[in-house]
Chains A and B, each alone.
Chain A
């Protein structure tokens, strides 16, 4: 199994082969993302009214999947950086760099929709509790990661520095999460992925999972497209330099 994975990743280390695969995946991934998003939004819009929260509960169907993708994005960056730095896979840096703004935007969406939800629910736009604080810190980690790519000019050095930050920063994220748990808690504790049965009723759970899948497909589609763009940019740079 591991050997097969190794062979596949070695096969696609060649950018040209990867671009061929990406070209074939591009349209299906975007179609899947659009379809899931449309279906998810339709299901989310037609959920029965929550007895406590009324219509505003529908923000949950954007807020929660966005938060899931924010965390998934950073894990993606972490694994891509490990692949690039330790296993020396050439596309690891490209993947991490491509995913960063996507993950950062999902984090921002999660924070903003959370505020919009919190105002009618809790009576405040922001509160310094465990979840919100660690999501804000996660946003700063994303911004720091993106800033490294922009600040360092030489591409190889920028790639390695960014990969180092991603790896070291990943250790920080669970630490922040746990330390803030001991600090303050107002945000709802986990109710979907509990070891016992999920606390959500099926009427709300299924649209939520569909939206989660939709956001995942969207994340992958966006990251794949950005990877293609980055490889094309590199090719362009090489051509310009050899033309001069």
Chain B
């Protein structure tokens, strides 16, 4: 079990030291900054669109970070070593995904209120939005991991990863953004939160198995 936490911590430290967390922050704020240029500076409009826009930018920041999940390990041979560990590959994968979540997604979620301020999102709107993102983001990381593992052996496979992950993201997006629309009304939509949680739990069960199968396939 200590192997699990070691892998998790290793991925976190590498992401942090490699500047990936900072890059993700930058991507989030750049994305949010571009929106008023595209949509016009009307604050009322921006506030109405803010929850959906924040979801989109969060997902794009996540998609661009998926490359770094397995590609580096595949290229320098660490993936082979991970398969020889006493821990089953599924748990190794889970450790890396947890490290990815802690190093990249949680900081982004912390940045969302600040980014929301740029889009005129009032603090009263935040609880629902953050709850929805919290419930849905594990699903995003896990399902993105499936796309990343399928494309791991392709050298410049970033775009392929995005294409493969996108169909999986659609249900999460639909419920996440739907839940966030309620954020503007200030209410808590428990049904959608529950469905997001369900998607996350289901991904937690299914994704590591699929990812491990794809990684074994790539290394063979």
Contacts and interface: CB of A to CB of B under 8 A. Distances in A.
Contacts of B217: 157, 160-161, 164
B10 interface: no
A171 interface: yes
A165 B218 contact: no
Given A140-B167, A141-B167, A179-B175, A151 B210 contact: no
A152 B154 contact: yes
A147 B174 contact: no
A191 interface: no
Nearest to B207: A168
Contact of A147 (B160, B168, B206): B160
Nearest to A145: B164
A84 to B, nearest CB: 13
Interface residues of B, number: 24
B210 A176 contact: no
Q: Which label, helix, strand, loop or mixed, suits the secondary structure of the A interface?
A: helix
A157 B153 CA distance: 9
A148 interface: yes
A172 B167 contact: yes
A157 B215 CA distance: 11
B13 interface: no
A175 interface: yes
Nearest to A164: B214
A164 B170 contact: no
Interface of A: 133, 137-138, 140-141, 143-144, 147-148, 151-152, 157, 160-161, 164-165, 168-169, 171-172, 175-176, 179-180, 182-183
Which 6 A-B residue pairings sit nearest by Cβ, starting from the closest? A179-B171, A151-B154, A144-B164, A144-B163, A160-B217, A141-B167
Given A137-B167, A169-B168, 8 more contacts: A140-B167, A147-B164, A157-B217, A157-B218, A157-B220, A161-B218, A168-B210, A183-B174
